[in-house]
Amino acid sequence: ARIAILVSGRGSNLQAILDAIASGALPAQIVGVFSDKPGAVGLQRVEPELRWSADPKAFPSREAFDAALGDAIAERSPDWVVCAGYLRILGESFVQRFRGRLLNIHPSLLPRHRGLHTHARCLAAGETEHGASVHFVIPELDAGTVIAQARVPVLPGDDADRLAARVLEVEHPLLVAVLRLAVEGRLAERGTTVFIDGH
């Protein structure tokens, strides 16, 4: 299966996917890494031919940037498009274009803490557990159907950085596990239910 990855930053989730592919645990191929940050460290994790980036400020509108991004992705004919630490909101037409094969990993136990600063908000709310979710993307931010979640405890003395590090450790295997189901053709969304089908 062909996977396109969107990143805005360091790309540790992308690296987890690359490692899983290299070890044979994930029967897939990265066909492109796409970024809204031309300087993103994550881009460096793949060979230059697979990198695409552009600065949204160079485009007249969100729609124009999304269209350029979408065209670059479509050119690589991916089966799955995965937002792995992609921090820019995707507009409705982009989401519709890739609907049903567009996934995101979000660092909270959705539906709690949609949007940014999830770790600080979890601590501020005094919660005892936190985690990450992989979900189908719909136009409403972080609101698509959840496929799977990974949990960690909130521990005494945690600050946002310590908690983020604990969550990141479970993000990587979570994302690989979901992608494995995806590339095996076993993942399907129907309404607000996700089916994990047999062969």
Is 2 marked as binding a ligand? no
Q: Is 89 annotated for ligand binding?
A: yes
Q: How far is the CB of 111 from ligand GRF (least distance, A)?
A: 16
Q: Tokens representing 121? A: 């908000």
Q: Which residue lies nearer to ligand GRF by CB, 37 or 97?
A: 37
109 is in an annotated binding site: no
Residues 68, 130: Cα–Cα separation, whole Å: 35
Q: Is 51 annotated as a binding residue?
A: no
Nearer to ligand GRF, 50 or 168 (CB): 168
Which residues form the interface with ligand GRF (CB under 6 A)? Answer: 7, 9-13, 42, 84-85, 105-107, 132, 168, 171
* Cβ distance to ligand GRF smaller for residue 78 or 107: 107
Least Å distance between CB 107 and ligand GRF?
4
User: Based on CB atoms, which residue is closest to ligand GRF, 3 or 105?
Assistant: 105
Active-site hit among 106, 113, 119, 172: 106
Tell the smallest beta-carbon distance from residue 42 to ligand GRF (Å): 6
- Whether 172 is a known active-site residue: answer no
Q: Is the dihedral of CA 58, 59, 61, 65 positive or negative?
A: negative
| Catalytic residue set | 106
Which positions make up the binding site? Answer: 11-13, 62, 87-90, 104
